[in-house]
Every structure is written in C-alpha cells, then in structure tokens.
Amino acid sequence: MRRKNVGIADVAVHRVDGGTAWQETDRLAVEEPLEIRLEYVVAGTVTRTNIAVTMRTPGNDVALAVGFLFTENIVRQYAHVDTVRHTPAPNVLTVRLKPGVAVDTTRLERHFYTTSSCGVCGKTSLEALEVDGVAPLADGLAVDPTVVHQLPGALQQAQTVFAETGGLHAAALFSREGALLRVCEDVGRHNAVDKVIGACLLEGQMPLADCILFVSGRASFELTQKSLVAGIPVLAAVSAPSSLAVDLAQAFNLTLLGFVRNDRFNIYAAPNRIDRDALTTNPTLS
C-alpha cells in the first residue's frame, strides 16, 4: 500500500467483471487511530488523561481534537487551550490547557472510544448523553428552501477525496445564503463535524448562529448535540435522522432536515427557520 497523500492510499486490487479478471490500483480513504490526550494543572500538579481514541482520516488533526473537546463540553473555549502537539507519535495528540483553567473531572471519568461508524460508543446511558450548559437556540435565521436544495450539489463538488475514493463522509458549513464556508472529510461523519467546528473554534468564529451544517449520511443524536454546542441553528442531512436526534432538536429549537436530495427534504424539528412563504402548499398532501 502506498500513500498518495495523508487521506488517500493506493492499493493493488484484482477486479472481476463477469468472467474477466485483471489487476490494477485502487484508491482508498485512509483510516488510522488518533489518541487524544489532555493535560491540565490541578493544585500545581500537571495531570495527564487519555480522553479518546477515534478512528479517523489523517488531516486537520488539531481541529479534530479541539472540536471534539469543545463539542463534548470538556473545553469551553479555545482561549483555554495552551498548546496542541503531536507527541510522542503522529497518531497521538496532546492538548494542554492553560494554568488555572478548571476541568470538570466527572466528565473525564467517562471513557471515550469512538469508531468511524459509531460516535457515541462508551456513553452507557441516556443520562450520559444529556446536553449540559446549552440553552434552546433563538429564532431569527430564515433559510430559503432553494438554498437547501443546493446543498447536496455544493457538497459533492467540494468532496475532493471522496471523488477519488468513494469512501468518506463529509460535513460542510454554509451561510444562510448557501455560500460554502468550510468542508471537511473523514471516515467518520462525527469526526468530519468535529473538524469543521474545531477549525471555526481555532479561528474565533464561534458561535455559528448564522450557519447551516450539512452532513453526508444520517443525522444522529451526537451530530445534533455537536450542532447545538456550536450554536448552529440548522442541521441538514442527506439521509434520515434518528428518533433521538429529532427529540433533541425539538427540545432545543434546532431545525433538523433529513433526506435532503433531489430537490426534496423533510423538516423534523423547528420548521420556523424555513421560509414557508417561498413554498406552495399542496392541499391534497396535507
């Protein structure tokens, strides 16, 4: 196997088409573990804690780590971070907090283990999934339905690694007018979201109250929680949301859209942010 770049690997494969077989090179998305460690000072003593191991596509690791800590309410703002460094190996990232920054050690008692397919592994009860310190989102953002219809095409054009491998999820941040602000790819959709949010956090762009987050695949509880922590009022997904994601979105006034594709979408929560004046109601479908 040979790396083309940090996110793509060239692999020899045997292709079979009917009764014909041949060998050539295929390009795959890279998947490797990243261990996230946290260093903080307690009573003058430096404490080191292993926070998470996530299977991710290399690239944007700093944004991924910072975004993960932020959306899990372990780090409340980037100003609390002193340094972020790869040590002792490329797949180990240590986030050191500034002296005096308080850490909720009870949150660190929960062991994180996230994989590319499951972002909530290790959270053993519904109580452990509660969003704390997050208030219901304010009204105000109004999105034209035509903007929502444009999201899939804009995301597809921006997925450079997916175009070569066909094996990555993506998360993209759009303005209310539909302008693409940022896109990140990863084998895990939750990692892609953390990379987007972490990059915005690094650049001091929080909260993201005028933005739309669009994700490939489904909208899970965890992605809804991450959107809420970042103050994103609209979460849209190519596929379906989970029932728990809908419950959370409804409770916190987050507009949740599913099956956003082929000029269609479903509104599962907070329909007030979709400009209904731009829609024609079909009475036979009511």
Q: What positions carry a catalytic annotation?
A: 118
Nearest to 39, CA basis, from 68, 73, 80 = 80
Q: Is 210 within 8 Å of 177 (Cβ atoms)?
A: no
DSSP string, 65-110: HHHHHHHTTSS--GGGEEEEEE-SSTTEEEEEEPTT----HHHHTS
| Secondary structure (3-state) at 177 | coil
DSSP string, 245-278: HHHHHHHTT-EEEEEEETTEEEEEE-GGGB-GGG
